[in-house]
Structure 1
Amino acid sequence: MKTLQRALAALAAASMAGGAVAAPPKPRPIGMETQIPFADHRGIRDFQADGDSALWIQDQGRNWYRATLFGPCPGLPYAIGIGFVTKGTSALDKFGQIVVEGRTCQIETFATSNPPPRKADRKKRKES
């Protein structure tokens, strides 16, 4: 029994020492043109509209991206669900499109982003 306790204590000490050596993950660069791979195979987790000409998109890894559109996309601010067109590849990027209520809207830029601001913060920004 004491041998088992010693072995468990040694294993716990080794795992704690190994965790202390691990480097923290590098921060993701913001504002870099990019893509979401496998967007057409459940690669997208969530989205939030930013008015009618931009939106934030979250991938399955919980990373956020910001897509700006070539013009206003009617219905985007109120859309509950949208479609993503990846243009022959499985990745969503600046060459893709979104579909809102049957209308296709072309993506102009697609870049890494911070999470969208909270709704209360967006409301304050509009009021000032």
Structure 2
Amino acid sequence: MIRTILAVTALSLAAPALAEEAAAPPAGDQVAIPFASREIIEWKVDGNRGLFIRANGKWYYARTQADCRRMIPSIGLGFETSPGDQLDRYSAIHAQGWRCQLDSVTRSEGPPKKHRKG
């Protein structure tokens, strides 16, 4: 009983810190990708919450509000744009039947370069 109370107390104390970390603002200013339905050329999945997107000759980084576990590199993705056909923080990504709401879209230098072996 005491262990349960201690565990619940520890979790309740840690919850605000975890929520604060998850709600941390992205690096850089929020932007919108104009004409997203026509201009998105490629994307690279970055874990369960991020996506590098190349459009209009520039790279952007889109982060989802929560984990989007079906967003994997080997599948096609759908982009639900905001009014005016722009991809921004009010847009969403569709991955294998899941709708993943975006939290932010910022400018990026692009995905990290892979080092060749050998």
Q: Does 1:32 align with 2:29?
A: yes
Residue of structure 2 in register with 1:71 after alignment:
66
SS at match of 1:76: coil
Number of residue pairs the alignment of both structures matches: 90
Quote how far apart the aligned CAs of 1:64 are: 0.4
Larger Rg: 1
Give distance in 1, aligned partners of 2:30 and 2:50. Answer: 15
Matches within 5 A, 1:1-128: 31-40=28-37, 42-59=38-55, 61-120=56-115
SS at match of 2:72: helix
Quote how far apart the aligned CAs of 1:39 are: 0.6
SS at match of 2:41: strand
What letter corresponds to residue 34 of structure 1 in structure 2? V
Q: Structure 1 unaligned segments of length 5 or more: list them.
A: 1-29, 122-128
Identity %, equivalent residues: 33
List structure 1 runs of 4+ shifted beyond 4 angstroms. Answer: none
SS at match of 1:87: coil
Q: Structure 2 unaligned segments of length 5 or more: list them.
A: 1-26
**Structure 1, residues 73-96: CA drift from partner, whole Å, max 9, x if none?**
122123431010013321111110
Quote how far apart the aligned CAs of 1:120 are: 4.2
The answer on whether the counterparts of 1:79 and 1:100 sit within 8 Å (CA) in structure 2 is no
Cα RMSD (Å): 1.8
Q: Judging changes above 3 Å, is the alpha-carbon distance between structure 1 residues 49 and 106 closer, same or farther for their aligned structure 2 residues?
A: same
What is the TM-score with the length of structure 2 in the denominator? Answer: 0.69
What letter corresponds to residue 45 of structure 1 in structure 2? I
Larger strand fraction of residues: 2
What letter corresponds to residue 51 of structure 2 in structure 1? L
Q: Judging changes above 3 Å, is the alpha-carbon distance between structure 1 residues 43 and 83 closer, same or farther for their aligned structure 2 residues?
A: same
Give distance in 1, aligned partners of 2:98 and 2:72. Answer: 14
Give distance in 1, aligned partners of 2:36 and 2:43. Answer: 13
The answer on whether the counterparts of 1:65 and 1:112 sit within 8 Å (CA) in structure 2 is yes
